[in-house]
Amino acid sequence: MLSYILRRTMIMIPMIILISMVSFLIITLPPGSYIDSYLANLQRMGGEVEQSRADALADRYGLNDPIYEQYWKWVKGFPSGNFGMVFSEERPVMDVIQERIGFTILISVLTLLFTWILSIPIGIYSAVKQYSFGDYFFTFFGFLGVSIPNFLLAIIIMFTGLRFFGVNLSGLMPAAYMGEPWTLAKIAEVLKRIWVPVVVVGTAGMAGLIRIMRAEMLDQLRQPYIQMARSKGVDEIKVIIKYAARIAVNPLISTVGWLLPQIISGGTIAGIVLGLPTLGPKLYDALKIQDMYLAGTIIFINIVLILIGTLLSDILLALVDPRIRYD
């Protein structure tokens, strides 16, 4: 196992270098630049900027340099944690990421826990009680969760809270607490509202995982080794949990590689609708105005998290399923 992890880690190094190139190329492919977006926004608002001023901004940000020089200017600061400047705010990219990464991780981790803690037991129950009322109910709930877009569910919850309870559920805290030191009152406000993005983002993922877990459990419960365990008088709970569910959960574990990047970009549209201070909406804004260093850094982090998550998935599968071995 250790040698496998070392091999995979060594392979990841050139892949990360390649990923940084691809990430930067994706950001620079669309025509125009941040200066063009900046000038277009000014014109829409009735303002004007002299061409000399626009040229000076382009030179300042190095937007007139060849693409390989722009790329090198970006990546050479990686070892020291310098990912360039945010053009629209004129401050380091890392400062913007640090401001939002805490709330992003908190919401994402709570969403994952909410999704997995409910999905696995419900999937097991639906398989064991196939075609029962509970199975039909959760199947209907699964289809409902998949069919309703996250942003629509967010709008419904916010409307219901404001219309019937007089509570504004947008954002994670009232505007009065923004930028203020953390107090018990501020923490209480966050706890009052954080369930909204957790439910909104987690509902669609939970519906999908329930369907996967149910299908895998049904397949395992029909396997000969399950029938043999039952014929030997093994307790039914032990048969379901220790044998069938242990194998059925493997497809869910294999999705860990795609769960980690959701920490950064998961629920972007819901985050925009709810006004959340997370990285997803910030990535969307950066892509709109072609703020290449901020957008490229967030995309780069996302793809690196996919690599790390894939490695973790393989390790967890080997630990959970004794049939899997890495030589």
Residue 92 bridge partners (DSSP): 85
8: left (phi over 0), alpha (psi -120 to 50) or beta: alpha
pTM, two decimal places: 0.80
Helix, strand, coil % over all residues of the chain, rounded to 5: 75, 0, 25
Sheet strands (E) in 63-180:
85-86, 91-92
Which residues 6+ apart lie within 8 Å of 86 measured at CB? Answer: 92, 93, 95, 96, 286, 291, 293, 294
- Nearest CA to 277 among 202, 209, 155, 193? 193
Confidence at 122, pLDDT banded by 50, 70, 90 = very high
State which H helix or E strand residue 91 sits in: strand 91-92
The pLDDT score that the predictor gives to residue 326 is 58
Residue 85 bridge partners (DSSP): 92
**Greater pLDDT, 274 or 54:** 274
Confidence at 266, pLDDT banded by 50, 70, 90 = low
If you search the block for the tokens 């890392």, which residue do you land on? 94
Residue ranges of domains in the chain: 96-320
Which residues 6+ apart lie within 8 Å of 122 measured at CB? Answer: 138, 210, 213
The pLDDT score that the predictor gives to residue 50 is 65
- Once rounded to an integer, what is the mean pLDDT over residues 215-237? 90
Q: What angle do CA 27, 33, 34 make, to 5 degrees?
A: 100
The pLDDT score that the predictor gives to residue 313 is 79
Confidence at 133, pLDDT banded by 50, 70, 90 = very high
| CATH class of the domain at 96-320 | mainly alpha
60-77 pLDDT, tens digit per residue, is 778 888 888 888 888 888
Residue 219: pLDDT over 90: yes
Q: How many residues does the chain have?
A: 327
Residue 324: pLDDT over 70: no
The pLDDT score that the predictor gives to residue 36 is 79
Confidence at 265, pLDDT banded by 50, 70, 90 = low
